Amino acid sequence: MTEGSRSRNPSPMALAPTQNITHTAILRIAVPIVLSNMSEPLIGVVNTAVMGRLPGPHYIGGVAVGALIFAFLFWGFGFLRLSTGGLSAQATGADDKTELVTVLFRSLILALAIGLCLVALGPWLGPLAVSLVGGSDKVMAEAQVYFSYRIWAAPAALTNFAIMGWFIGQGRSTTAFIVQLFLNLTNMGLSAALVLGAGFATAGVGIAVVTAEYAAMALGLALALRRLAAMKQVPDWAYIFRRDRFMALITANGDIMIRTLCLVFAFGWFVSRGAKQGDLIVATNAVVLNLFEVSAYMIDGFAYAAEALVGQAIGARARERFRRAVGLTTLWAGVLGVLCALVILVFGQPLAALMTVDPQVRETASHYLGWAALATVAGTACFQLDGIFTGAMATREMRNMMVLSLAVYMGAWWWLEPHYGNHGLWAALNIFFIARGITFMGRLGAIENRVFGGAS
Give 334-348 pLDDT, tens digit per residue: 999 999 999 999 998
Contact 349, 49 (CB under 8 A): no
Across the chain, mean pLDDT equals 84
Give 455's pLDDT tier (boundaries 50, 70, 90).
low
Distance between CA atoms of residues 335 and 344, nearest Å: 15
Give the phi and the psi of residue 305 in degrees, each rounded to 5. Answer: -60, -40
Task: Give percent above pLDDT 70 in the chain.
Answer: 90
Among 261, 266, 387, residue whose Cα is nearest residue 333: 387
Q: Which helix (H) or strand (E) holds 221?
A: helix 202-231
173 or 46: which leads in pLDDT: 173
Q: Please state, in angstroms and as integers, the Cα–Cα distance from residue 315 to each residue in 247, 322, 356, 425, following that order.
A: 22, 10, 48, 42
Give 37's pLDDT tier (boundaries 50, 70, 90).
low
Torsion of Cα atoms, 219 then 223 then 229 then 232, to 10°? -140
260: amino acid identity, one letter: T
Residue 10 confidence (pLDDT) above 50: no
Residue 166 confidence (pLDDT) above 60: yes
Contact 159, 220 (CB under 8 A): yes
- Record the pTM: 0.79
What per-residue confidence (pLDDT) applies to 456?
54
Q: 236-292 pLDDT, tens per residue?
A: 888 888 877 777 677 767 888 888 888 888 988 998 888 888 888 988 898 898 889
- Helices 369-391 and 279-315 pack at an angle, to 10 degrees, of 30
